[in-house]
Structure 1
Amino acid sequence: MAIPSLRSSNMLKYSIYALFLGLAATVCAKSILIKDPSLLTLDEIEENVQQCSFVQTLSKHKIETSPAHASLTTQLFALLFPSSSPAINALLATAYISGPPNFLLALCPPNIDPSSLSVMVAFAVGGLLGDTLFHLLPEIFLGEDHHDRVKFVMLEPNRNLLLGVGILAGLVTFMAMDKALRIATGGDQHSHSHSHSNPEPSSPANGSTTSSKQVKSNGEVRQRKSKKEEPTTTTMEPAPINPSVKLAGLLNLIADFTHNITDGLALSSSFYASPALGATTTMAVFFHEIPHEVGDFALLIQSGFSKRKAMGAQFITAVGAFLGTCIGIFVNEYGSGGSDSAGGLTTGIWGTSLQWGDMLLPFTAGTFLYVGTVAVIPELLETGANKSQELRKTALQFGAMFVGAAIMLGISWS
């Protein structure tokens, strides 16, 4: 039977791949069954499959049809992450997402309004969800693509179920952290996107003084007595910060520290999955960190911190990202290193081929899903009374979200 040419259109090409997938498995059966299949590791199965002549033909075709030159994003990622070690690249990525966003705080005015960051937050949501849907989830269930050969995926239902459990665990963990913080602050004063209200009106002393002077200025005819009382408003000492706002600021530092730990886990697990996934996850986290850090900075200023102390506190919480990265490196190095030495597909978690290090990436995807949806989107859904202004603001938010997702899609496509 004549085999159709592999140099046809993409649709025909992938139809041929699907048609002859069973043939490839049949041709390769002898080489795989030399050893008991239950004793083979995934790497050994992949090595046996790559030795088949039909698979080698497909790999040769893939190399011939691949772009001759690396894309601009590939060159940029190679410049930013030059090492072949995923551990070193993960540490570099942690420095990228921790340093510049914190240095940008020096340019922020102390009286910045967190609600003005809604467009930037929408852009970060698009980046996070784009990275999760276009990069993380495909990588979790299908594995890493290789530019120099084709890859076959072995279906393992229980393995997929455990990966789904890891995604759910990440989402529930962040939900528990968010809920605990809301309980500790006495209500919905904390939001991951940092849309905090101005604490000044909540001060009883300030509120009573202002209302009494408004009554005097509005109820009395402009007399000299009222004019004498006007200087008292300028020489008046600043009202004390509401204790609940102080508590919210301190608890937000703890939440920021733990959140940075999960960012570090995300970076390390993604780089151990593949260099490309690590680079795109770094971009997604970086886009999210800018409004995240600015919102935390504004809350600390409202809580009574000076600008210098607020910036110092943010740099301290950045240590959490390096801690999370180191934890992720340790788990990936020692939690999945036994897959080859143990020998067999049933030596992993609950009789599957999964190792504990493989669960970090699904956990990361779950945290990104929570941050990008439950923790941030409710703020973007808030509307005001001015309809025309809200329509313009909504268009900007959706546009920013689309741009963030489109960047992730473009990187994945190329």
Structure 2
Amino acid sequence: MVSRRNRSLLSLSIFLAVCAWQVSAAAIKGETAVPVGQLSVSAIEEQLQDCPLVQALNQHKVLTKPATSSLSSQIFAFLFPGSPAVNALLATLYISGPPNFLLALCPPNIDPASLSVMVAFAVGGLLGDTLFHLLPEIFLGEDEHDKVKFVMVEPNKNLLLGVAIMVGFITFVAMDKGLRIATGGAGGHDHSHGHSHETVDVSAKTSGADVKGSKDSLRSRKQAANGKPTDPAPPEHEKEISASVKLGGYLNLIADFTHNITDGLAMSSSFYASPTIGATTTVAVFFHEIPHEVGDFALLIQSGFSKRAAMGAQFLTAFGALLGTCIGIAVQEYGGGSASADGGPVVGLWGTSLQWGDMLLPFTAGTFLYVGTVAVIPELLETGPDRGVELRKTLTQFVAMATGAGIMLYISWS
């Protein structure tokens, strides 16, 4: 007796055989819309939808998995109601505005190391978005709720996508390395890690200034006792800050501006890929921007900026995200797509179906991999002498990281 599962497999095999026979017969009679060998990827996908097997699979998918409107999809539809270009610009405002306004609530002496839990949460979100959304989208494409989708395997296409991912990764390595060389090894994208050392240096200089101030105060009292005029004490804001710390602050602004450009590229490439990818990328970048902006703010304060000047500088660097978004939109709109208007063959990069616009999303994935691993993980690996405190701190960080990744998984799953 044939089981239900075996009957389903048998039916699928029969459908497949019938579909293959019909396609072969049509090819023999010359009924294909475009000669074989000159079909574009989009034309192949359109003709596959005419196959009886594919139509049966589409009906089965609609019946077994009806489209539902989850809470997250309703929120995303409200936040991103326009075209991919409009949604990318809106996402850029979302990731740039609120984190910068939060700086007004930050005290000038905030320690970036205290943000380790938020950093761990951001790491989970970035890695979750990369592994659950970006990479599947890059190699397999986005699923559609009302029909099945087929993937045309192009080995060289996959290789170029991998190259774009690596280029994104190496780009951030070069930027981080250049910043470290310029600052004598004290800079880097891992702001909390770098800032902790700079805080020690500045506090040491401050302590030295306090000792000097106490000596000056003692000398002034002696001069007053002898009837001599006292020397005015140096103002508090004129405490000496080393040139390397000042240079680190300015170079960090340049690095932050460049980093924001890549965030803008991520917004444009993800929304042109699909609304879901764009929304999840926005969420991941938003949670990463909060500790990132606070860390930059603390570094600028330590570099001699006033709180107002530091906030103004951070707002200026936020324009890098807008610039990156506009560049990404221009590449997507004018850099060509993977399909031609007449359904004919598309000769893209190095003989593949890829266009320049298709390379932005894997480039973004490479930058996210660097930021989520190399740039931040070393900070989470730092430990102190108290084992009990470090164990509790580590547990909290892992919970935060799992929460960030879990949010990305939930959005993708639902």
TM over 0.5: yes
Q: Which deviates more from structure 2 when the two are superposed, residues 257-266 or residues 343-352?
A: 343-352
Question: C-alpha distance in 2, partners of 1:209/1:310?
Answer: 23
Q: C-alpha displacement at 1:200, in angstroms? A: 6.2
CA contact (8 A) 1:345 1:352 kept: no
Deviations 1:106-160 (A, max 9, x none): 1111111000011100000000000000000000000111111110111111110
Counterpart position of 1:54:
53
| Residue correspondence of structure 1 range 197-212 to structure 2 within 5 A | 197-199=197-199, 201-202=201-202, 206=206, 208=208
Q: C-alpha displacement at 1:243, in angstroms? A: 1.2
Change (3 A) 1:384 1:346: same
Counterpart position of 1:244:
244
Change (3 A) 1:209 1:407: closer
Counterpart position of 1:70:
69
| Residue correspondence of structure 1 range 380-391 to structure 2 within 5 A | 380-391=380-391
Question: C-alpha distance in 2, partners of 1:159/1:80?
Answer: 34
Q: C-alpha displacement at 1:194, in angstroms? A: 3.3
Change (3 A) 1:105 1:278: same
3-state SS of 2:149 partner:
coil
CA contact (8 A) 1:167 1:364 kept: yes
Deviations 1:250-284 (A, max 9, x none): 11110010000000001100111111100100101
Deviations 1:280-336 (A, max 9, x none): 001010010111111111111111111111111111111000100011011111112
Counterpart position of 1:318:
318
Question: C-alpha distance in 2, partners of 1:281/1:291?
Answer: 17
Change (3 A) 1:363 1:21: farther
CA contact (8 A) 2:42 2:339 kept: no
| Residue correspondence of structure 1 range 358-377 to structure 2 within 5 A | 358-377=358-377
Counterpart position of 1:106:
104
Question: C-alpha distance in 1, partners of 2:13/2:289?
Answer: 42
Question: C-alpha distance in 2, partners of 1:88/1:13?
Answer: 45
TM-score by length of 1: 0.87
Question: C-alpha distance in 2, partners of 1:262/1:117?
Answer: 23
Q: Which deviates more from structure 2 when the two are superposed, residues 30-39 or residues 16-25?
A: 16-25
Counterpart position of 1:218:
none
Counterpart position of 2:155:
157
Q: C-alpha displacement at 1:192, in angstroms? A: 3.0
Deviations 1:167-222 (A, max 9, x none): 0010001100000010011113333343313446458864545567999xxxxxxx
Question: C-alpha distance in 2, partners of 1:408/1:391?
Answer: 26
Q: Which of 90, 93, 96 in structure 2 is aligned with 1:92?
A: 90
Change (3 A) 1:76 1:13: farther
Change (3 A) 1:279 1:13: farther
Aligned-residue Cα RMSD (Å) equals 3.0
| 1:44 to 2:43 alignment | yes
Matched residue type, 1:304: G
Counterpart position of 2:140:
142
Q: C-alpha displacement at 1:77, in angstroms? A: 0.6
Counterpart position of 1:283:
283
Change (3 A) 1:343 1:52: closer
Q: Which deviates more from structure 2 when the two are superposed, residues 236-245 or residues 271-280?
A: 236-245
Question: C-alpha distance in 2, partners of 1:203/1:389?
Answer: 24
CA contact (8 A) 1:169 1:363 kept: yes
3-state SS of 1:194 partner:
helix
Matched residue type, 1:412: S
Counterpart position of 2:403:
403
CA contact (8 A) 1:134 1:409 kept: yes
| 1:329 to 2:329 alignment | yes
Query: What is the aligned residue count?
Result: 394
3-state SS of 2:192 partner:
coil
Q: Which deviates more from structure 2 when the two are superposed, residues 346-355 or residues 260-269?
A: 346-355
Deviations 1:31-51 (A, max 9, x none): 577222332111111110011
Question: C-alpha distance in 2, partners of 1:81/1:148?
Answer: 22
Question: C-alpha distance in 2, partners of 1:352/1:318?
Answer: 36
TM-score by length of 2: 0.87
Change (3 A) 1:344 1:68: closer
Share of identical aligned residues, percent?
65
CA contact (8 A) 1:114 1:194 kept: yes
Q: C-alpha displacement at 1:339, in angstroms? A: 3.6
Question: C-alpha distance in 1, partners of 2:305/2:9?
Answer: 60
Question: C-alpha distance in 2, partners of 1:299/1:168?
Answer: 30
| Residue correspondence of structure 1 range 113-128 to structure 2 within 5 A | 113-128=111-126
Question: C-alpha distance in 2, partners of 1:79/1:18?
Answer: 43
Question: C-alpha distance in 1, partners of 2:400/2:413?
Answer: 20
Change (3 A) 1:27 1:143: farther
Question: C-alpha distance in 2, partners of 1:290/1:19?
Answer: 56
Matched residue type, 1:116: S
Counterpart position of 2:218:
none
Q: C-alpha displacement at 1:58, in angstroms? A: 0.8
Matched residue type, 1:52: C
Q: Which deviates more from structure 2 when the two are superposed, residues 110-119 or residues 235-244?
A: 235-244
Matched residue type, 2:107: P
Unaligned residue ranges in structure 2 (runs of 5+):
216-220
| Residue correspondence of structure 1 range 137-286 to structure 2 within 5 A | 137-195=135-193, 196=195, 197-199=197-199, 201-202=201-202, 206=206, 208=208, 237-238=235-236, 239-286=239-286
Unaligned residue ranges in structure 1 (runs of 5+):
216-223
CA contact (8 A) 1:263 1:324 kept: yes
